[in-house]
Structure 1
Amino acid sequence: MFAVQFDSPGDIDVLQLRDIPVPSPGEGEILIALEASAINPADVKIRSGMITPRQGNAPFTLGYDLVGTVRQTGPTAGRFLPGARVIGVSTLAVTGTGTWSEFVCLRETSLAGAPEDVDPAILAQLPLPGLTAMQAVDALQLPQRSEVLVSGAAGAVGRIALQLLHLRGHRTHALVRRAEQAELLPTGVAEEVYIGSPPTSRVDAVIDAAGIDLSAALRPGGHYVTVVPGSPPHSVSKDSATLVIAHESGAMLHTLAELLTAGDLTLPDSTTFKFSEIEAAHREYERQLGRRITLVV
């Protein structure tokens, strides 16, 4: 089977499309035939050496997101039958296991059923950004009608976070770097859009999806959630700050898939490449930061 791997971190040309053995599902695992995935910032950070997976050894297979079809179930795994379509996430930075291969073994608890009427290239944008956004919103633990600012609001995580906050009854505010990014925001979700810099003492909480300092935007006692390692800034007290590193959860993916099917959650169009075009896909991703790039078999 094919797999997108690298031996040592570096530039895009370290990526290799290789033929490796098909894995066998272990206890509680499922073997999935890959249909589509997406490029996330974490893939670039791992490929470039900014992040080293905590487990496993080189060569590493890249990839977090997965849309695919169940081929085989391991011992004690029986929730999904062969032929079922699923979505999932493999937290590569933690497990060392990536999804950019023809067949992938993942824990059954990390999977959810895939909506049948959604294009795999669109659906592939949901798993990692969706889980990250949902876990960030959960970490806020705010009463309804709280005012929340999201940075990186036009990006994959920020866009979903805005929609989840809106669905939960919060007053959402978006921060983007450039004016043209405001056009990429989901319609009717953000009450105010800030371009370039955040407001001052304006909101009850922030979700930082861009790795910038949002502390000035908080009212006294506000809560700071970031999904970017290295944040929040030192000016935010530890008691009011939370760093969210997404964990695998089939149950959360199920909820996100239901929201998508119901039309309560939308995903943008993407530029699609085949896995055989992996270098071109990465070059396009780095050329158009913020534009979603999906990969199909």
Structure 2
Amino acid sequence: MRAIGIHEPGTPDALQVVDLPQPAVAEGEVRIRVHAAAVNPTDTLLRSGQRDLSRQPRPLIPGMDVAGILEEIGPGTETPLRVGDAVMAIVVPRGAHGAYAEQVVVPAESVAAAPRDTSHLEASTLPMNGLTARLALDTLGLPSGSVIAVTGAAGAMGGYAVQLAKADGLTVVADAAAKDQELVAGLGADVVLPRGEGFADRVRERFPDGVDGAVDGAMLHAAVAPAVRDGGTVITIRGYDEPGERGVRFQPILVADYAREQQKLDTLRQQAEDGLVSLRVAASLPKEQAPEAHRRLEAGGVRGRLVLNF
């Protein structure tokens, strides 16, 4: 089968078409014929060598989101899905096992039916970012009626965090550039404030005691802490866990912890069908144009997800 991978980290042009053997399917696993793979910031980190890959076999195949058709179910595997179903899955990329491939084999718990009446392109945007947002909110554990701040709200993960927080009964204050304010308000944010420097001060003007917690998709880190009440928690997505002041805690999360939370992925499927979460495709590119997709993503300003078409 063909995949898109790298032999050594580098610029987007390090991505190239590679040939790999068809992966075997063991007990507890399923094989998916990939039709679409979303492109995420974590893919660019892997490709550029910003993570320790010294022990990883080559080629390295990026990608954490796929959608396609279920082709094979491993022996003795229990799953409500059937061969031929349209599915979506989260993929944990290790060595040649990433989402940028014509076929992937993943644990059955990493797969759910694709949302009804959606394309493969749309479905591929949901698993990794949706589960990251779900994990962030579950880690905060705020009761209904609490107030949460979301930074990076116009992005894919931030957008899901806004929508899922609203579905959980939370009041959401979010950041947005001027060009994205309508978008973020449309996602359901109760209060939309200008992004960047001074965001925390603007939050305090609206909520003098501070919000109950925050999901820091924009990676403001210490700069967002003043928006949070004493003893509150800020969820971070790139490992930031420096000590905070006033008892504010920075809590990093790793979506791999939810990679086998099939019920949570299926709940996201239902929420997409119910219109509670939006599947946003920024653009679709042929798999051979993966370098261009990475260049566009690293240039910034992408709203929704770039998707590679397999």
**Is the structural similarity TM-score above 0.5?**
yes
Q: Deviations over 1:21-74 (max 9, x none)?
A: 111111211111001111101000000011235974121111100101111121
Rate the CA distance shift 1:132–1:61 in 2: closer, same or farther, 3 A. Answer: same
1:146 pairs with 2:146: yes
Corresponding residue number in structure 1 for 2:37:
37
Corresponding residue number in structure 2 for 1:83:
84
Instruction: Tell me the distance in 2 between the aligned counterparts of 1:54 and 1:192.
Output: 45
Corresponding residue number in structure 1 for 2:212:
204
1:293 pairs with 2:306: yes
Asked whether the equivalents of residues 163 and 186 of structure 1 are also in contact (C-alpha less than 8 Å), the reply is no
Asked whether the equivalents of residues 116 and 273 of structure 2 are also in contact (C-alpha less than 8 Å), the reply is no
Moved over 4 A (4+): 236-239
1:220 pairs with 2:213: no
Unaligned 5+ runs, structure 1: none
Give the secondary structure class of the aligned counterpart of 2:43.
Answer: helix
Q: Deviations over 1:62-108 (max 9, x none)?
A: 1100101111121222423221121111122x676201111111010
Asked whether the equivalents of residues 62 and 100 of structure 1 are also in contact (C-alpha less than 8 Å), the reply is yes
Deviation at 1:276, TM superposition (A): 1.9
Asked whether the equivalents of residues 156 and 290 of structure 1 are also in contact (C-alpha less than 8 Å), the reply is no
Structure 1 residues 111-120 or 239-248, which shifts more? 239-248
Structure 1 residues 233-242 or 31-40, which shifts more? 233-242
Deviation at 1:115, TM superposition (A): 2.1
1:180 pairs with 2:190: no
Task: Name which of 275, 280, 297 aligns with 1:263.
Answer: 275
Instruction: Tell me the distance in 2 between the aligned counterparts of 1:263 and 1:122.
Output: 13
1:252 pairs with 2:264: yes
Asked whether the equivalents of residues 242 and 250 of structure 2 are also in contact (C-alpha less than 8 Å), the reply is no
Corresponding residue number in structure 2 for 1:136:
136
Corresponding residue number in structure 1 for 2:193:
194
1:17-96 mapped onto 2 (5 Å cutoff) = 17-52=17-52, 56-79=56-79, 80-92=81-93
Q: Deviations over 1:123-167 (max 9, x none)?
A: 111010000000100111112111100011111111000111111
Structure 1 residues 61-70 or 113-122, which shifts more? 113-122
AA paired with 1:185? V
AA paired with 1:32? I
Instruction: Tell me the distance in 2 between the aligned counterparts of 1:159 and 1:71.
Output: 32
Corresponding residue number in structure 1 for 2:3:
3
AA paired with 2:269? A
Instruction: Tell me the distance in 1 between the aligned counterparts of 2:183 and 2:43.
Output: 23
Asked whether the equivalents of residues 150 and 174 of structure 2 are also in contact (C-alpha less than 8 Å), the reply is yes
Unaligned 5+ runs, structure 2: none
Q: Percent identity?
A: 30
1:126 pairs with 2:135: no
AA paired with 1:88? A
Instruction: Tell me the distance in 1 between the aligned counterparts of 2:281 and 2:65.
Output: 16
**Number of aligned pairs?**
294
Corresponding residue number in structure 2 for 1:167:
167
Give me the TM-score of the superposition, normalised by structure 2: 0.89
Instruction: Tell me the distance in 1 between the aligned counterparts of 2:299 and 2:182.
Output: 19
Task: Name which of 287, 291, 294 aligns with 1:282.
Answer: 294
Q: Deviations over 1:252-285 (max 9, x none)?
A: 1100000000111112242110102222222222
Structure 1 residues 104-113 or 242-251, which shifts more? 242-251
Give me the TM-score of the superposition, normalised by structure 1: 0.92
Give the secondary structure class of the aligned counterpart of 2:298.
Answer: helix
